A and B are shown apart, each in its own frame.
Chain A
């Protein structure tokens, strides 16, 4: 006798004419193929692990250890205590001591610090009288999370005052630079250029080379006098132009539609973009020497894109990340590009101030291209 349960379980399959055998045949085949596709198989484990590491360890919206500089014009015991208290809060790490507000501004523009603590010469008087806020925080407003942390710092109590803190109000007046209205699109859009370029440039080149291999074009090319380096440069050049068009598009739409200010020189912005594009393209070439087909090239691009977006400082402040994540981030070209482009576009910095971030891009380019060339040669044999 057939149990009623069994009859119920089978009937929908009957109605739909689904054969469990055929379904399991397909499923088994799929699992078998998956096991042989090491990359996809690896990503099943790799993606969740990577995401957990990034969000669990690296990404920290409760930002601490922001690089800061102090201009203590008062130089009293109370002012020194205030700076020590600010450091003790772990929100800031004082890395520089300077003599004036102008110097703080210069450091901010160069991207060396995110926060400047300005303690005026009449600090003691201000603490006594309730008329004016005793000190100032000069904050890099191009990152909203930094700004948010700075606001937490503003209410830091001043030690040993005769009056109660409530009477004084905030110890620091927060002055947000570069994005005083705190519009997130202003902060996002310059960095977005980098995210878009990472996505397109890496994928385009990787796919362009892999496609030639898939279609057999490469087999023909290697019998001609075309040299590997010529092939690679020839592949890269059109995409450099495409990348620059994308940069222009984001800048034009960003300033027209989202009123993103372009404070620095356009030439500097394009130079930074050019360096980043070339670095991304050479990484695409490197991927192409590993990927067996276009799908794998796309998978590997995603694998690279994820940490780039999350660790580069595009979404979360670099200073808030643990040391290990920072080391990884330093190796990613997007980190350096985000610094460059925000410096130029939002803070109006010149390349002489922030040009140091070109060097890692150049090293990244040289290393990935050399490895790509070596591996490419090997594949012909």
Chain B
């Protein structure tokens, strides 16, 4: 039983009126892994998570979560999964300890072990000295630690995190991911949605969603290695001019600015892509350093979402 994947979804679909929010998503999430959902806002990440939690009825398709049929067995699933909502959803007018006690009661944890568990979590998530503070007065990072503590209080086998780091600073994000790895090492399966590339890169496996469609799956490494296009990096003083030139080159599938550089995705099959682009730029009188580079996850994302958008 425990060898079965944590999540198996087949053709999972959800429509809201004319809009298809999730379109025939088929995916397998192995146990004790951090599985990332990467996609822009409105790509169907939250809707998929809600269906997997049994909160939303799929319009089509089916899903087995921890061996249970959802939404049919949603009630039985409740005690085995944890869910951290995108928005802070604990009570702002309760203290940190009161919030955790409340969650413990909701999961029917007996008083004695509840106290122990709450103390344990307060220590583990560095909230002990804030136990008496109102949740509403805490910083983004502190709230997020509290939300995570609440989500894992009943020791779920599977944890759903819906864009957990959208309101926290980089240091808190790093600490948060350390906590996730610790949970994962202890055997918890984690499904986390994000639109941050650096976060997605930390996941064991990734699913890229675009307008409700699963456009790529695999480990971040494999996705970057197996990108069909060639990635060429352009560095120069006038990136706007460089971009205008590259946009007119047929073999260039897309150009995206990453900080002070441009990344051009060049269609496979073009020989010496860096050289070619350098020639194009020189011909237009744009001075730039052009170099072939390994694909970043952002390139993978652009590549994967581009194919669907192409006519």
Contact = CB atoms under 8 A, between A and B. Distances in A.
Contacts of B88: 216
B10 interface: no
Nearest to B84: A220
Interface string A368-381: 00000000000011
Interface stretch (B51-59, B170-178, B179-187): B51-59
A73 B108 CA distance: 71
Interface stretch (A113-121, A131-139, A223-231, A304-312): A223-231
A215 B136 CA distance: 11
Contact of B106 (A218, A219, A226): A226
B55 A216 contact: no
A217 interface: yes
A367 B87 CA distance: 34
Contacts of B92: 215
A223 B90 contact: no
Query: In which size bucket is the chain B interface?
Result: 20 to 34
Contact of A381 (B57, B85, B108): B57
B79 A225 contact: yes
B47 to A, nearest CB: 12
Given A225-B79, A225-B107, A220 B55 contact: no
Interface string A208-238: 0000000111111111111000000000000
Nearest to B93: A215
Contact of B85 (A220, A225, A380): A220
Interface string B94-133: 0000000001001110000000000000000000000000
Nearest to A223: B83
A11 B307 CA distance: 62
A219 B87 CA distance: 9
Interface of A: 215-226, 380-381
Given A225-B106, A381-B56, A381-B57, A220 B78 contact: no
Given A222-B55, A223-B83, A217 B106 contact: no
Contacts of A224: 78, 103, 106-107
A296 B56 CA distance: 26
A225 B78 CA distance: 6
A373 to B, nearest CB: 16
A217 B56 CA distance: 17
Interface of B: 53, 55-57, 75, 78-79, 81, 83, 85, 87-92, 103, 106-108, 150
Contacts of B103: 224
The secondary structure that dominates the B interface is loop
The secondary structure that dominates the A interface is loop
B89 A215 contact: yes
A376 B91 CA distance: 20
Contacts of A220: 83, 85, 89-90, 150
Given A225-B107, A380-B55, A217 B75 contact: no
A222 B89 CA distance: 11
Contacts of A218: 89
Given A216-B85, A217-B89, A224-B78, 13 more contacts: A216-B89, A217-B91, A219-B85, A219-B87, A219-B89, A220-B83, A220-B89, A220-B150, A223-B78, A223-B81, A223-B83, A381-B55, A381-B57
Contacts of B108: 225
B233 to A, nearest CB: 42
A208 to B, nearest CB: 12
Nearest to B54: A223
A226 B105 CA distance: 10
28 contacts: A215-B89, A215-B91, A216-B85, A216-B87, A216-B89, A217-B90, A218-B89, A219-B87, A219-B89, A220-B83, A220-B89, A220-B90, A220-B150, A221-B106, A222-B55, A223-B81, A223-B83, A224-B78, A224-B103, A224-B106, A224-B107, A225-B106, A225-B107, A225-B108, A226-B106, A380-B55, A381-B55, A381-B57
Contacts of B78: 223-225
Contacts of B55: 222-223, 380-381
Contacts of A217: 89-91
A11 to B, nearest CB: 48
B87 A225 contact: no
Given A220-B83, A220-B85, A380-B55, A225 B90 contact: no
Nearest to A226: B106
A214 B86 CA distance: 14
B136 to A, nearest CB: 10
B216 to A, nearest CB: 28
Nearest to B79: A225
A119 to B, nearest CB: 67
A223 B83 CA distance: 7
Nearest to A215: B92
A216 B75 CA distance: 21
A204 to B, nearest CB: 15
Nearest to B88: A216
Contacts of B81: 223
A220 B55 CA distance: 11
Q: Which 10 A-B pairs have the closest CB atoms?
A: A220-B89, A223-B83, A216-B89, A216-B87, A225-B78, A224-B106, A219-B85, A219-B89, A226-B106, A217-B89
A224 B156 CA distance: 11
B106 A223 contact: no
